[in-house]
Amino acid sequence: MEILPLFSQPVYIDVVNLDPDVLRRAEKTPMQDMSLDSAYKKNGFMSQDTQWLSNHLDVKDIVDQHMDIYVHEALTISRKHRLQHQSSWINYHGIGDSAAEHTHVNSMFSGCLYIKVPENCGEFRLRMPTMFPTYLTSTVQPDIMESNYLNQREFPIEPCEGTIIIFPSHLPHYVSPSETDKDRYSCAFNYFLKGPFGYEDTALTL
């Protein structure tokens, strides 16, 4: 007997070693309060710099290496399609802060690198939209005896310092509220594929 988890939403998770100086630089990054927007209450702070990795190339090198593994080795996308960093920023969350559910537009692959992760600072959660069918549509929702990769529509990740998560940009995700008064820092990032796509009448160059 074999069950194939076909047509998946591939998510990459690993843990990297970060120099302590990365946290010091994140802490010094000028921030804007996202809670000032009524749509994002208790959404913490986001850096004014949206090219943070480009301005911290040692950290970008780490992210680039893992993006390369995810896209070119795991997904086996041809290297004629070059990965290009689009944007990146620092997120700072204090007690009660969270990240509302969202996707990343104008991007193909997104991710998050956790820089400082105190205990009980919130989970990173990926969610399949209700209207997107998996083994069932949303017409009925049977009780589940045990959650697993084949039947779950939401997946929690408990990060630690150095956790890097990469996923398709269209996949909805959010961060649950922090229950600690210690600060959490992370770096979110977006990447796109550049180069030639298709052939003849479907040819496209980005």
What's the confidence (pLDDT) of residue 35? Answer: 76
What's the confidence (pLDDT) of residue 138? Answer: 83
Q: Any bridge partners for residue 167, and if so which?
A: 110
- What is the side-by-side order of every strand in the sheet holding 154-157? 99-102, 173-175, 124-127, 154-157
What's the confidence (pLDDT) of residue 13? Answer: 98
Structure tokens at 124: 């990173």
Q: From first to last of its 206 residues, what are the pLDDT tens digits of the chain?
A: 999 989 999 999 999 999 999 999 999 999 999 876 655 568 899 999 999 999 999 999 999 999 999 999 999 999 999 999 999 999 999 999 999 899 999 999 999 999 999 999 999 999 998 888 898 888 888 999 999 989 999 999 999 999 999 999 999 999 999 999 999 999 999 999 999 999 999 999 99
What is the helix (H) or strand (E) element at residue 25, kind and residue range? helix 20-28
Please report the DSSP string for 27-69 in residue order. Answer: HHS-EEEGGGSGGGTT--EEES-SBTGGG-HHHHHHHHHHHHI
Q: Any bridge partners for residue 124, and if so which?
A: 157, 175
Which CATH number does the domain 12-28+45-132+146-194 belong to among 2.60.120.620, 1.10.10.10, 1.10.150.130, 3.40.50.1820? 2.60.120.620
Residue 103: partners with Cβ closer than 8 Å, 6 or more residues away: 169, 170, 171, 172, 173
The torsion angle over the Cα atoms of residues 48, 52, 56 and 62, rounded to 10 degrees, is 150
Kindly list the distances between the CA atom of residue 170 and the CA atoms of 5, 79, 102, in Å, as whole numbers in the listed order: 19, 22, 9
Kindly list the distances between the CA atom of residue 90 and the CA atoms of 5, 41, 79, 108, 166, in Å, as whole numbers in the listed order: 34, 18, 29, 19, 16
Domain segments of the chain: what residues?
12-28+45-132+146-194
